[in-house]
Amino acid sequence: MKVPQRCSTGLPLKDTSEGQPAGYLLVPCGNRVWRVWRNPEKAGRWWAKALTKTRFAGNPSIHTRRRNGKTEVILYHRGDAWLWDEGKDELKPILSAKDYMSHEVWKTIRRERVGQPPKRFAPLNDGSFLLAPYEESYPVGAVVHVSADGKEAKLLCKNARGNVDRDWDGDALTEVAFFGGPLLVDVVEENIVLFTAIDDALLRRLRNGRVSTLCKDGEWREFPTKSAAHYSNAPYPYEKCPANKAPNWGRGYVVGPGGYFYQLYCMGGGDAWVWRVGPIDWAKPSVVTLEKKK
């Protein structure tokens, strides 16, 4: 098997009570998905076997969700999604691009560009899905909620303003701005979505229809502009955010369990770093909001 350049997280590797290795990783490689585990029948050596006989037109992305007390594995590629039945080693289709790409919501993002399914995808525990175009609608990104049967689609967030020097956080449909985004990171709790952007690489949150930014002190704040988020001398309509509490710049976010995320960063040919950050309260209300009190 060719060593993959990129791996996707699968179920964690753990040893059984008898000390035998158990669990596995799922790795996309060569237009297929491989199950990688320590094989007790081979003296605990690492072993790999392809999931089903299915070959894709490219490497699919691998996702998990919790349904009925179980962890389900979902593969996504070019707008379609499949549920992996581990017992039968079969893929069951659960979402088709032809069912949801005809909705009018895609035309409200960028009419002349969104003609193909988004590459970015996340399954929700209730059976529905999030799809997030960016490359397909560049430079205007968005997050769209699609029902389990694909018959309904609703816009949750978009790059409504576009100019980060005039806008930043706030109402997810009318007030926010991204410099290359939003780029979907993950869904951490029901109705709480994390995203970032290409160049303004801060971790931001969609909660209750509003977008806020994570700060170094673990608090969520809404900032009026990009420069405000970077604690410059820009005018503030509210308290100034101290430098030691200001948002942290990063490249790439991978969400882990227990309120932690892993931040990946590499510049040019220099060192590559992985930072473990947390614990973060994903659902904690924002300590500063731009929402006008009625």
Count of residues making up the chain: 294
- CA end-to-end span of the chain, whole Å? 62
Q: What is the structure's pLDDT at 237?
A: 43
What's the structural domain count of the chain?
A: 2
Q: What is the structure's pLDDT at 275?
A: 82
Q: Is residue 222 part of a domain?
A: yes
Q: What is the structure's pLDDT at 110?
A: 67
pLDDT in tens, 238-264: 445 666 776 766 667 888 888 998 887
Select from 12, 29, 59 the last residue of a domain. 59
Q: Is residue 9 part of a domain?
A: yes
List phi, psi (to 5°) of 188: -100, -30
Q: Is residue 41 part of a domain?
A: yes
Q: Is residue 204 part of a domain?
A: yes
Select from 59, 74, 108 the last residue of a domain. 59
Select from 59, 74, 94 the last residue of a domain. 59
On the question of pLDDT at 291 being above 70, the answer is yes
Q: What is the structure's pLDDT at 5?
A: 41
Q: 209, 212, 178, 201: which is closest to 282 by C-alpha?
A: 212
Instruction: Look up the domain containing 44 and give its range.
Output: 1-59
Q: Is residue 248 part of a domain?
A: yes
Q: Is residue 69 part of a domain?
A: no
What is the rounded average pLDDT for all residues in the chain?
82
Q: Is residue 20 part of a domain?
A: yes
Q: Is residue 129 part of a domain?
A: no
pLDDT in tens, 47-101: 899 988 889 999 999 998 888 888 889 999 999 999 999 888 899 999 999 999 9
Question: 288 is written with which tokens?
Answer: 């500063």
Q: What is the structure's pLDDT at 78?
A: 92
